[in-house]
Amino acid sequence: MKPSGGRSRASAALRRLRLRWARATAPVLGPFRARWRRSLMLRTMTITGLVTGCIILVAGLFLLTSVTDDLYSSRRDQALEDSARATLAAQRWIDASDASDRGALSTLAATVRRTVQDTSASQMVYLRRQPGQTAFPEAPPSSTTDDMLPEAVSPELARTLAASPDPQHWQSVTFTAADGTLSPGIVVASTLEFPGGAGTYDLYIGYDLADTQDTLSFIQRTLLITAAAMMAFIGILVWIMTRIVFRPIRAAADASRLLASGVADARMPRQNDEHFDVLSDGFNDMADTLQARIRELDELSEMQQRFVSDVSHELRTPLTTIRLVGEVLQGGADGLEPGQQRAVEVLGDQIERFESLLADLLEISRYDAGRVTLETDATNLVALAHDVVEGLQPLSAGLIEVRALGGYAPVEVDARRIRRIVSNLVGNAIEHGEGKPIVVAIDSNAQAVAVSVRDWGIGMSAADLEHVFDRFWRADPSRTRTLGGTGLGLAIAQEDAAVHGGILEAWSALGRAPTSVSRCRAGTA
């Protein structure tokens, strides 16, 4: 069954209300929510405080209710007992009197009021002839000692007193003073039988409970102050306890942060607790092992760098000799047979590739050793890009277009290294561009110059894109290479960009055209 239109509108209105509430409270509650998600200590303190507050609230309400009920019941019982005693005393006075005329009955009524006032703890007495009786001219009129009492007597109490055979009834009331002050009270009602045909009179005795209300207010204030003090004390106690409990965790976090920042000798101190000391010992053992492994890796890395550098240098001498021999063979290749001529040509190509590999290895070893020095000069990147494109255009089956949106102002860069970056990017675009056009774009602002190379080739997957700048990595080793290469070009280009304070990035999507291959962003050094 589909929901009705009214229900749908109500749901939409509720969602809008929730959205408005979220937007309105975001500036206030947003930081607290973020802090709540990040801090276990805050969650622990808040939950403990809420649970403790609920317990104190329930206990306080229970105590206050119990005290209020007990105090009110005690005052009510006292009022009933006091009223019964005063009523009996007044009735004895009436029974002992033989008044029959109006004056004597009026005097008797006044005596009854004084007797009730003298016998009871209250000075509020209201004597009223019960309605519904036969008219009796000699009967004394209704009288009261306090005007608040007649106003407080409700018709329900009067009807109950007249209809019920019980000798005594009571009702909780509120007395209103002449100045408008309100005070709680109890009215106790009973009946008196006057002689001489005067009939039955209702006797109302009022008991003001203002003092009881003051006592309850004092108890409430005391409980509130006590609860606030207890909450403050418990909050401080919880804060201290959480600080103590979370201290080992903070120590572990500080030690791990120092280790991550490169402080190899950072360790977690012992906490004088059998469980946390096991954590400290395990953490420190792990740090020692990690430091030992890092030291070993550093030594292996230094050995590797030294080996690559030494081998590269040592290979230059025999390579120079081989190159001289190749040049001699190429000079006399005209007198050789076709097969021998092809062998001499292949030898020359491989010697050139070997020289390129040695040069790249030496460059990588310099970067690894941190011995790279920039030879900066004012360079126009637009002109540099045109030179690179002109040199590589004959190797591309498609058009290589240079779009200069900026970059005309000379910048202080190492022209040789920037040229190598652009050459590597354009060369890769030629290799993987499937003979489609390639766009080299240059742009700049006041802080940086950007060079991007874009092709519309087959693209790369996300997994391959993560390794595009790895050394000796190829996306498809089976592909035929047009420009040769050592597998170190993009790795060296990335280092060239970094040494200029810039970055080298690549974007690609497999099977989607166009594909953004790479972009180099170099700051003005």
- The pLDDT assigned to 186 comes to 92
- The pLDDT assigned to 519 comes to 43
Chain centroid to Cα 385, Å, comes to 49
Fold of 377-523: Heat Shock Protein 90 (3.30.565)
The three-state secondary structure class of 414 is coil
- The pLDDT assigned to 514 comes to 41
Q: What is the 3-state secondary structure (H, E, C) of 323-351?
A: HHHHHHHHHCHHHCCHHHHHHHHHHHHHH
- The pLDDT assigned to 512 comes to 59
Pairing of strands 411-413, 377-379: antiparallel
- The pLDDT assigned to 517 comes to 37
- The pLDDT assigned to 137 comes to 77
Which sequence spans correspond to the domains of the chain?
1-30, 63-216, 267-372, 377-523
The CATH classification number of 63-216 equals 3.30.450.20
- The pLDDT assigned to 515 comes to 41
- The pLDDT assigned to 520 comes to 43
- The pLDDT assigned to 288 comes to 85
- The pLDDT assigned to 26 comes to 61
Which residues of the chain are under the pLDDT cut of 50? 1-3, 513-525
Instruction: Retrieve residue 54's tokens.
Output: 């609920």
CATH match of 267-372 with 3.40.50.720? no
Asked if the domains at 63-216 and 267-372 fall in one CATH topology, the answer is: no
CB atoms under 10 Å from CB of 368, counted, come to: 17
Instruction: Retrieve residue 395's tokens.
Output: 């190797």
- The pLDDT assigned to 296 comes to 84
Which residues are bridge partners to 441 per DSSP?
A: 403, 452
